[in-house]
């Protein structure tokens, strides 16, 4: 993975000093709350319900074991012994003290980490495929380009006060595991007709209040133009994006209002001035950064490992875990392992200091000392030998990270919601837990198959509810917490937005609702038919009928009282 040189380190160290000064000036009253807010946000610091919340950047989801141990240390020393991995491959600490935040940032800087631009109306932390560099279906490793974008976006002086936040995701595989269609800018690393690396640039995707899929604004941008083209897009957005209404301020609204053609013309006009200028990428720089992402020293191994095959036969539980949590590797004899942070009873994405330390040990022993974070809020060991899988499984079990549920119904994606977030309409975590508890039969879960349930506590959609096969959104009804349900959403290249099935439900109804939707699916599916395909084939009605039938009368009676 990328290693800082003395300049990268100096920039991050200077940031810590700068924020220490800003925090001191805020505490002394020299800086007002309004003046401090954008500064702290650009250092990942929110003021939440109970305490400040610090969001630490994990650039494109890559961590070393040293960094993971530092996260454990921070959880222990400054927080309540745990952290929360987010849907944007970051980690959040929910209980730091404001005055200690500069110390936390200083500790992070010692392991080449920071909280730069993890919040605020600026270019946010760049995200990517959690299997980048190892995926069996990868075309071009996106990580060097994600790192280049990290550097380009870090303290970009022109784009620190954009109309709204700005998120970039890069994907280099056939399957889109980075949600590029739902980012302000989505980038696909592709080969152009001559076989050179190029970028397909999508713009204007996003979830939130107005969910829209991104549009291709440029089909095959030659790689040397990456920064000048991004500069052109951002400049058009910075100048013309709406600033009068924060709900209309994302770039997707600008693209929609101008129309894609007009938007593209604006970008091209701007780009004409920047193209081939000094910001044009050099091959030397691409090579310098790419050199950090070369393959580790893989052993030459047979595709089939006899010991592994035997364990599969002998241990049903292991076989199940392999079926769900092990992902195909480009290198024969290797596999990528997903450690599930979705154990029933634990908030999705939460990890304790002890678990983090244990994962770091596992990575050191079995996966070249590296760990990835997925936007599904799980952790990944990307380079495990097949013959070590059984040992890794056993160790993961002792950590509590071996739930065999990746991609299954209980692998729920949920934002922190009303338990922590001050913007929430409703809680997310208890709903996730109630659903996980309802579906406690592993055979049934495996029979149901791939189901993505996504829960957001409000319209900001941090839980990506629009793209859940079943999406759950917290809404406020006369001061009470209710949940609106969508079905049919999906991520990836076939991305689609879910459709609302009808009036919202109370919190204690949610497990029933999900159970009925699933029963409907199981009853109606053809053999091996995926939930989404069944939903598409039979339409909304049977699902609606299953959840609204008997209660329609009751609901009307309720409404009559309001």
Secondary structure letter of residue 193 according to DSSP: T
CB of 421 to ligand SF4, least distance (A): 3
Q: Least Å distance between CB 235 and another protein?
A: 5
Cα–Cα distance, 334 to 387 (Å, whole number): 8
> Hey, which residues between 100 and 159 contact another protein (CB under 8 A)?
121, 151-152, 154-159
Q: Residue 292 or residue 444: which is nearer to another protein going by CB?
A: 292
414 DSSP β-pair partners? 455
β-bridge pairing 453-456 and 185-191:
unpaired
Q: Which of another protein, ligand SF4, none lies near 121, with the C-beta cut-off 5 to 8 A by kind?
A: another protein
Q: Are 377 and 349 in contact (CB under 8 A)?
A: yes
Please compute Rg for the chain using Cα positions: 23
- The Cα–Cα gap between 154 and 142 comes to 18
User: How many angstroms from the chain centroid is the CA of residue 440?
Assistant: 26
Site mask for another protein (CB under 8 A), range 200-239, x = bound: ---------------------------x-------x--xx
DSSP secondary structure of 329-375 = BSSTTEEEEEEP---TTS-TTEEEHHHHHHHHHHHHHHSTTEEEE-T
Are 243 and 292 spatial neighbours (Cβ–Cβ below 8 Å)?
Answer: no
Distance CA 540, CA 387 (A): 46
Alpha-carbon dihedral sign for residues 464, 183, 168, 129: positive
d(CA 499, CA 477): 20
Rule CB under 8 A: is residue 247 a binding residue for another protein? no
Binding mask 432-471 for ligand SF4 (x = CB under 6 A): ------------------------xxx-xxxx--------
Shortest Cβ 53–ligand SF4 spacing (Å)? 10
- Closest residue to ligand SF4, based on beta-carbon distance: 457
Residues 267-296 binding another protein (CB under 8 A) are: 273, 277-279, 281-282, 284-285, 288
507 binds ligand SF4 (CB under 6 A): no
Compute the distance between CA of residue 382 and CA of residue 520 in angstroms, rounded to an integer: 37
Within 408-437, which residues bind another protein (CB under 8 A)?
none
Nearer residue to another protein within complex by CB, 13 or 509? 13
Task: State the binding partner of 22 from another protein, ligand SF4, none, CB within 5 to 8 A by kind.
Answer: another protein
Interface with another protein, residue 66, by CB under 8 A: no
Residue-wise over 511-540: b if at least 16 C-beta within 10 A, else e?
bebbebbbebbeeebeeeebbbebbeeeee
Q: How far apart are CA 17 and CA 140, in angstroms?
A: 38
Please enumerate in sequence order all residues whose Cβ is within 8 A of that of 310, keeping only pairs 6 or more positions apart, or say none. Answer: none
* Closest distance of CB 273 from another protein, Å: 6
Decide which of another protein, ligand SF4, none touches 159; Cβ closer than 5 to 8 Å per partner kind. another protein
Q: Work out what residue 461 binds among another protein, ligand SF4, none; the CB cut-off runs from 5 to 8 Å by kind.
A: ligand SF4
95: nearest Cα among 118, 68, 77: 77
Exposure string (b/e) for 461-482, b if CB count within 10 Å is 16 or more?
Answer: bbbbbbbbbbbbbbbeeeeebb
Binding residue count for ligand SF4, defined by CB under 6 A: 13
Region at 153 (left for phi over 0; alpha for psi -120 to 50; beta for the rest): alpha
- Quick one: what does residue 281 bind among ligand SF4, another protein, none, with the CB cut-off 5 to 8 Å set by partner type? another protein
Nearer Cβ to another protein, position 42 or 410?
A: 42
CA dist 495 and 110 (Å) reads: 39
Among 57, 74, 162, 426, binds another protein (CB under 8 A): 162
31 contacts ligand SF4 (rule: CB under 6 A): no
For residue 459, the Cα-to-chain-centroid distance in whole angstroms is 17
- Answer for which of 396, 415, 435, 495 binds ligand SF4 (CB under 6 A) is 415
| 435 φ/ψ angles, rounded to the nearest 5 degrees | -70, -45
Place of tokens 């998120």: 167
Residue of 260, 423, 475, 497 that binds ligand SF4 (CB under 6 A) = 423
Helices (H) and strands (E) in the chain, counts: 19, 21
Instruction: Determine which residue in the list 142, 206, 417, 468 makes contact with ligand SF4, applying CB under 6 A.
Output: 417
Closest approach, Cβ 205 to ligand SF4, in A, equals: 17
Q: How far is the CB of 223 from another protein (least distance, A)?
A: 13
Residue 243 phi/psi, 5-degree rounding, is -120, 5
Distance in angstroms (rounded) separating the CA atoms of residues 403 and 388 = 18
Tokens of 68: 């993971």
Indicate which single residue of 421, 451, 501, 513 sits in contact with ligand SF4 (rule: CB under 6 A): 421
C-beta closer to ligand SF4: residue 94 or 378? 94
Tell me the site size for another protein, rule CB under 8 A.
40
Instruction: With contacts defined by CB under 8 A, name the span among 161-169, 425-433, 457-465, 468-476 that binds another protein.
Output: 161-169
Residue 1 or 462: the one with the smaller Cβ distance to ligand SF4 is 462
Q: Rounded to whole angstroms, how far apart are CA atoms 233 and 274?
A: 11
* Min CB(454)–ligand SF4 separation in Å: 10
Q: Point out which residues bind another protein (CB under 8 A).
A: 5-7, 10-11, 14-15, 18, 22, 31, 35, 38-39, 121, 151-152, 154-163, 227, 235, 238-239, 243, 273, 277-279, 281-282, 284-285, 288
> Which residues make up the interface to ligand SF4 (CB under 6 A)?
415-417, 421, 423-424, 456-458, 460-463
């Amino acid at each position: 993975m990328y290693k800082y040189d003395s300049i990268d380190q100096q920039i991050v160290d200077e940031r810590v000093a700068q924020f220490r000064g800003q925090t001191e000036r805020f505490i002394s009253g020299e800086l007002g709350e309004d003046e401090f807010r954008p500064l702290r946000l650009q250092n990942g610091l929110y003021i939440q319900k109970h305490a400040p919340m610090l969001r630490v950047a994990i650039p494109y989801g890559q961590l070393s074991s040293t960094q993971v141990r530092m996260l454990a240390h921070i959880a222990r020393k400054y927080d309540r012994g745990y952290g929360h991995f987010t849907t944007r491959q970051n980690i959040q600490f929910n209980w730091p003290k404001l005055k200690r935040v500069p110390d936390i940032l200083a500790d992070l800087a010692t392991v080449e980490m920071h909280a730069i631009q993890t919040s605020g109306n600026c270019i946010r932390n760049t995200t990517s495929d959690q299997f980048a560099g190892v995926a069996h279906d990868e075309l071009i490793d996106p990580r060097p380009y994600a790192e280049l974008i990290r550097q380009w976006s870090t303290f970009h002086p022109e784009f620190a006060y954009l109309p709204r936040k700005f998120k970039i995701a890069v994907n280099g595989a056939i399957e889109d595991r980075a949600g590029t269609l739902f980012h302000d800018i989505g980038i696909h690393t592709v080969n152009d007709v001559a076989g050179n690396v190029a970028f397909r640039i999508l713009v204007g995707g996003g979830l939130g209040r107005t969910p829209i899929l991104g549009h291709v604004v440029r089909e095959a941008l030659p790689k040397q133009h990456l920064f000048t083209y991004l500069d052109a897009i951002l400049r058009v957005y910075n100048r013309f994006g709406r600033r009068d209404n924060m709900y209309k301020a994302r770039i997707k609204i600008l693209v929609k209002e101008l129309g894609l053609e007009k938007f593209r013309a604006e970008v091209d006009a701007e780009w004409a001035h920047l193209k081939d200028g000094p910001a044009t990428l050099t091959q030397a720089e691409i090579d310098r950064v790419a050199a950090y992402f070369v393959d580790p020293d893989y052993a030459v191994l047979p595709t089939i490992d006899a010991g592994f095959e035997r364990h599969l036969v002998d241990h049903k539980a292991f076989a199940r875990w392999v079926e769900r949590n092990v992902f195909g590797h480009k290198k024969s004899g290797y596999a990528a392992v997903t450690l599930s942070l979705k154990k029933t009873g634990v908030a999705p994405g939460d990890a304790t200091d002890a678990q983090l330390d244990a994962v770091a040990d596992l990575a050191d022993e079995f996966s070249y000392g590296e760990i990835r974070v997925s936007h599904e809020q799980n952790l990944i060991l990307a380079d495990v030998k097949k013959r070590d899988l059984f040992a890794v499984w056993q160790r993961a079990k002792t950590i509590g990270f071996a739930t065999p549920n990746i991609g299954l119904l209980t692998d729920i994606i949920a934002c922190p919601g009303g338990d922590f977030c001050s913007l929430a309409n409703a809680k997310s975590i208890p709903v996730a837990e109630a659903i996980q508890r309802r579906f406690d039969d592993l055979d049934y879960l495996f029979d149901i198959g791939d189901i993505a349930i996504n829960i957001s506590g409000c319209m900001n959609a941090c839980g990506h509810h629009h793209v859940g096969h079943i999406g759950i959104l917290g809404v406020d009804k006369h001061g009470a917490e209710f949940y609106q349900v969508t079905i049919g959403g999906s991520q990836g290249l076939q991305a689609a937005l879910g459709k609302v099935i009808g009036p919202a439900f109370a919190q204690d109804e949610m497990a029933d609702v999900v159970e009925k939707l699933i029963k409907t699916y199981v009853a109606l599916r053809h053999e091996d038919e995926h939930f989404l395909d069944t939903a598409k084939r039979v339409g909304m009605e049977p699902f609606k009928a299953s959840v609204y039938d008997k209660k329609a009368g009751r609901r009307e009676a309720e409404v009559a009282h309001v």
